[in-house]
Structure 1
């Protein structure tokens, strides 16, 4: 599970009593953006059948939102600093609401992919303003309470994405089917736009010019990297996929050089390259990429297994997966106390729990095959969710703790971007393994076919979790 948090470190200058009514609007916006990260997974089989979507198109529907969200998060935060956070909040919410309408009315898979990308771009404008507005308008104990409420809201959004989303698809409100999961955003978005007047306007005291060339280079490079990974397997890896990967390497290398040149000239870059040259922060950034690459791909594999493979309806599928989210929320609440007592070793233990539970989950599905009873997965799903909560919540604080205060805001933006890009990357890689295994077992019974594909796809998640354990052990030793 992934709360996809983005931390904004800004100077606090709250004046007067904290705007609690404005906080409720900010929480609503945080809820809906994270809800849309998770709700798609329970609706994927329905979309696939209704739109006659290919497996690669399904990957784009999931990853397109995450990639667009991730690559513009830093830009969205900077624009809020420059133009006003409430103004960007309203613009982002308006764009998100319009994109949700386009998603709900999409006549085909290609249209839905485009609308999901637009939705992710709007979320990237909207989401950073939630954190920044809380940071500048709440102080001391009020700030801790506000961020605690935000964390709880994001956790509930992930659970609602599976249970409420599954229910919406199952009851087929107004014969809308899967479209209702997007159209439900419309009244919420319109309400948030009207109620945004309760959010105090704020801007950064020092406004640096935005690095648009850097935005274009990193966005283009990431798109050229992920598109062939998602589309390549279904097309047999034609020449354009390899050309795209090569072009991605060139653009990302160019981005690194451009950022360093900008820094040396005294202008503020999107990413401070010496920051990535710090060993502990670089290892921590890789850790974030690995752990978050297992989140959305996990949900996608599970939804395809129990719905497409075993024929469960979306509501039952979401309800079976919900204990994973509950385990995540409970472990997230416990993790800070464990880390305070045991340090980085507590995160290592969480990573081991996560890796072992994934290995046992793969083994259970593989051994049972077509005879699997999906409800029997609930105990291991709950443990896997708890393992995620023990890693993800304290990992962000651990990694950001490696950075001096002056660069904390930039480091937070980098980490938040890696969360989303990692999730999109995980969907791409797991999609390759899942689709390949599905084709290799095409002669088997459908349930057995999907059980084998689940085990193959989740193998990447297991390897990523084991690598995370190794990297965390290295960090724990360095800290001693």
Structure 2
């Protein structure tokens, strides 16, 4: 169970009530200020995943970093971020989600300042690794807090805003990064893309007391073996996803997938045994096997993979063949962000009317947007109609807004409040891994196809791949439970 820190535990009938058994009268709720505070930290973590991309050339000129070092500036953040999410969620369950969120936000703000002050490329890479680890501490607490203190329509609205923050953060990162570098704020050049986090993070820290303080009723035990095996699995998979394209997919890199498979099988066995003996596994098999969690994650993976592939390949096409700079390229994504934000305001009502079929509707709309893009690119290359491209991107955003928040709610609905941090960590880890995998697969396919086919054929075939991802979500959606 979950309780407010410093508040007496619930009575026995409430303590044994399952999270799906109806509204819990003890839920403290989440004020507008508190929601803004937790979403601010989440937004910073999303923005910083992409804001540095447009500043890499300036970083290279200033710090004399080679291609490998610059790659680590980008991928190092994502590596430690994805690696630490599940552990960050468990820390929140054990020590209090507001406390761990505040520590993660403080660390993120500090490491952002260190990135901005970096005197060498090695210092910057190290600071980025630490920044990703700090993000992994704070991000799981956002969904876990929403799950623990809200219910019904309030939860639907909060998760909708969470999804909108993710979509806006990805677009704002590209636009803001290009704007800051071009303006050369205070003459500090690329350093401003990190320095901007400091006042925003500090302001959120000052208001963090407005966030309800929740934690698990009984502190979970530590699972060193499970943590080690999970870490090995994640590192091996991330190494293939992040470094495969740059290294040319050597045989030894593929061998890491075999190591990951062995570690994953051992992890499953260890976690089942620990839970069977009354222990506290890092990843609870009984929670992960629940229908909402299992089917929701099965849909989340192709949804996120398609999203990652779309953004990455769009950047390659927009900047490589349409001559758009980073700022203009990000600007073309505004219809996606605007559509996503507007639609999330209405998704609670749509979900109440359609139930689990909201994901089906979202997949259909996304397919429509992708098919429109394929037709516009295929028939209008090399100068496709910008208006129709914007319509296709907007439809893709509408479909994503209908699908993403609903999947979040379905996945977390089966997670007991006491394990909300763990469930949130698993969800975000799956989302991040699938997004990175989609970007890698989509980008590699596009580059490979454009080498022996025409550019337009390569682009259309990648869009066809995205349609396959979306159709997979559509098929899975037919057996999804209603979001709660």
> Could you state the TM-score of these two structures normalised by the residue count of structure 1?
0.80
Q: Which residue of 2 aligns with 1:369?
A: 381
Q: Which residue of 2 aligns with 1:6?
A: none
**Residues 169-219 of structure 1: per-residue CA shift (max 9 Å, x gap):** 443434555543222112323344455456565543310123233222212
Between stretches 19-28 and 214-223, larger displacement belongs to: 19-28
SS of residue matched to 1:352: helix
Contact 2:271/2:283 (<8 A) preserved: yes
Classify 1:390/1:84 alpha carbon distance in 2 versus 1 (closer, same or farther; 3 Å): closer
Distance 1:247 1:92 in 2: 31
Contact 1:159/1:326 (<8 A) preserved: no
Classify 1:249/1:15 alpha carbon distance in 2 versus 1 (closer, same or farther; 3 Å): closer
Q: Which residue of 1 aligns with 2:476?
A: 471
Out of 87, 92, 109, the position equivalent to 1:80 is 92
Distance 2:153 2:480 in 1: 31
In the alignment, structure 2 segments of 5+ residues that lack a partner are: 8-25
Cα drift, residue 250 of structure 1: 1.3
Distance 2:31 2:361 in 1: 39
Give the alignment of 1:342-361 within 5 angstroms. Answer: 342-361=354-373
Give the alignment of 1:376-415 within 5 angstroms. Answer: 376-401=388-413, 410-415=422-427
Distance 1:272 1:79 in 2: 15
Contact 1:348/1:472 (<8 A) preserved: yes
Q: Which residue of 1 aligns with 2:443?
A: 431
Q: Which residue of 1 aligns with 2:105?
A: 93
SS of residue matched to 1:77: helix
* 1:171 matches 2:183: yes
Give the CA RMSD over aligned residues. 3.9
Q: Which residue of 2 aligns with 1:5?
A: none
Classify 1:61/1:438 alpha carbon distance in 2 versus 1 (closer, same or farther; 3 Å): farther
**Residues 100-135 of structure 1: per-residue CA shift (max 9 Å, x gap):** 345446688887665444322111111233445566
Give the alignment of 1:33-432 within 5 angstroms. Answer: 33-40=45-52, 64-104=76-116, 115-132=127-144, 156-174=168-186, 176-196=188-208, 203-278=215-290, 281-372=293-384, 374=386, 376-401=388-413, 410-432=422-444
Classify 1:127/1:233 alpha carbon distance in 2 versus 1 (closer, same or farther; 3 Å): closer
Cα drift, residue 385 of structure 1: 0.4
Contact 2:293/2:410 (<8 A) preserved: no
Q: Alignment length, in residue pairs?
A: 462
Q: Which residue of 1 aligns with 2:16?
A: none
In the alignment, structure 1 segments of 5+ residues that lack a partner are: 1-8, 442-447
Classify 1:197/1:233 alpha carbon distance in 2 versus 1 (closer, same or farther; 3 Å): closer
Contact 1:226/1:428 (<8 A) preserved: no
Classify 1:83/1:404 alpha carbon distance in 2 versus 1 (closer, same or farther; 3 Å): closer
SS of residue matched to 2:282: coil
Classify 1:465/1:104 alpha carbon distance in 2 versus 1 (closer, same or farther; 3 Å): farther
Cα drift, residue 284 of structure 1: 2.2
> Could you state the TM-score of these two structures normalised by the residue count of structure 2?
0.80
SS of residue matched to 1:72: helix
Classify 1:355/1:224 alpha carbon distance in 2 versus 1 (closer, same or farther; 3 Å): same
Contact 1:331/1:387 (<8 A) preserved: no
SS of residue matched to 1:208: coil
Contact 1:339/1:346 (<8 A) preserved: yes
